[in-house]
Amino acid sequence: MNLRLIAALFLAFGLLLTVDSSVAQSAGYGQVQTSSDQVILTHSRLQHIIDRHWADSTATGAGKFQAGITVDSLRDMINEAVRDGRARHNTHGRPGTIYEYDFQRQIGTTIDGGPATRLRVVVSNRNEVITAFPF
């Protein structure tokens, strides 16, 4: 069973069973929010991250998370980056805020295949994660 399939199973079932999560259904998609002061990672945005940035993703030119990183650990990293990282406005009219945080350990690979220790998270003005990737 490959990592993408495992991730898809997490997507379908795992998040709903996570004890520290509150789950709300609205507007046709599920929302997972670990607490009221943290960012929201919807199922569709999580799938976007898995498609582009999971260790077994075939997308080129995109940073990849290290094999073994789970949906739960991804969510923890996103929240840590938003809480402790450097924030800046999104660029050239794009909506939202960019957060960047250096974990001081390898979390994935860069587009060149080198070790990536930093995470960039883009968060919308509705406090929803748009994308997140290592670099």
Q: Which residues bind another protein (CB under 8 A)?
A: 48, 52-53, 59-63, 91-96, 110-111, 120, 122, 124, 130-131, 133, 135
Residues 60, 96, 38, 100, Cα dihedral to 10°: 50
Between 72 and 128, CB nearer to another protein: 128
Give min distance, CB of 18 to another protein, in A: 25
Give min distance, CB of 112 to another protein, in A: 8
Which tokens in the block code for residue 70?
């789970």
Between 83 and 88, CB nearer to another protein: 88
Between 21 and 117, CB nearer to another protein: 117
Between 81 and 130, CB nearer to another protein: 130
Those residues whose C-beta lies under 8 Å from the C-beta of residue 14, and which sit 6 or more positions away, are 71, 72
